Structure 1
Amino acid sequence: MYDTLVAAPEINPELVAAIFEHCASNPDRTAYVVPRSELRGQPERQDESFIVAALTDISAREIDHVDRQIRVEVRKRPDGTDVECLVVAGGTVAISGETIQAAGVDANDKLLVAWLLADNAVEFSEYLLSPEDMADLQAASQIGQSHVHVAFEETAEFKETNRNAIELFEHVVVAVKPLS
C-alpha cells in the first residue's frame, strides 16, 4: 500500500482525479477499463488494459486483493436481470463479464486490477484466467441470457457465494488518443 495515490508507482494523477470525479457524480459502482499507457501516463510497447476498481469508501483491509482465486457466478442486477461475473479478491468483489471482455482478457491471459481504495490506498492484483474460467464465464453468460430463471439459492455455488460482494456491473472504457 502507498501513502497517496500520486505516490504510487505507475499511476497517472490526472486519470485518478477524473475517475474520482466520475465516481462522485455516479451513484452506481463502476469499473474503468484503462490501457496501461494511460494508467502510467506514458507510452507502452505492450498496452494491456487494467480494470480500475474505484472503491473509495472501502478500505484496503476489506478487500483481499492478494487472494488469486477466481470464481464464476451468475448474479442479479438491481433491475432483476442476470449477469455473469468473475468473483475475485477473496469473494469480496464481482466484476461483470462485459467488463472482463472490454478489457480484452482471454483464456490463458492476465486480468489486471488496480484497486483505488479509501484513505488514498492503491493496490494491484493479477489474476490468471484459465481456459476453464473462460468456458465457465461463457456458460454463465448463456445462463444469464436464457429465459430459464433458476433461483440464486439453487445454483451449485450458492454455499460459497458472498451475497454481500461488491458488484461492479457497469464499466467505462477510457479511450486513449492515438499518438501522431
Structure 2
Amino acid sequence: MAPSKNVAGTDDVVKIDKWDSGALKNALDDGAKKMFVDNLGYKESHLLMDGRLLLCTLVVAFAMFGLVWDYLYPFPESRNVLMICVISYFVLMALLTLYLTYMEKGIFLVALEQDRAMMEPDNKWVLSSSLRKYDVMYNLTISYTDGKTKEERVVSCSKCVASFFDENGVFCFDLFQSVLENLRQDLLRDKKKQ
C-alpha cells in the first residue's frame, strides 16, 4: 500500500494498535469528523452531547447532595434524604442508559451545513458508526436532512478496517476520505433527482 496523507494533513501520523477495535473505531470516527468539520467547513452541533452532560450532571448532583447531607446530619438522621438520593441516582442512571441507547445510537457527529446566503435553514448531517469487538467490519451510516424540506436521506457503508490502515497501523486518511466523499455525493445526488 502506498503511503498516504494522515488525518491532520501534516507530519503528524495517526498510528494505532491495529488489534484494538476501540482505537480503530475512534481513529475512523475522528477522520470522518475532521473531514466534515475541518475540510468541508460544517459547524458541529453539540446538542446531543449536551443532553448526556445534563443527565450526568444531575446524577452527580444527587450523589454529592446525599454525601454532603450525610456529613452534616449523620446516618440515622439523614436516612430519608439518602434514600431519595440513592433512588434518584439509579433512576437517572437508567434514563442515561436509555438516552445513550435510543437517542445517541452510536452517533459521533451532528454537523450543520449552513446556507451560504444565510437565508435557508441549516442542512443536518448525522454520522454514526459501529465496530464490534474482534470484528473487522466498520459500519458507517450518514443521515442527511434537508433544512428546507425536512426530508431525510440515509446511506450506509460497511468496509473492512484494513482498507484504511496499513500493515503498521497507520491511518490512511485519503483512502477513508474518498469513501466519505462518495457517500456524501450519493446523498447530494439523491437531493438533485427530486
TM-score for both structures, normalised by structure 2: 0.24
Higher strand content, 1 or 2: 1
TM-score for both structures, normalised by structure 1: 0.25
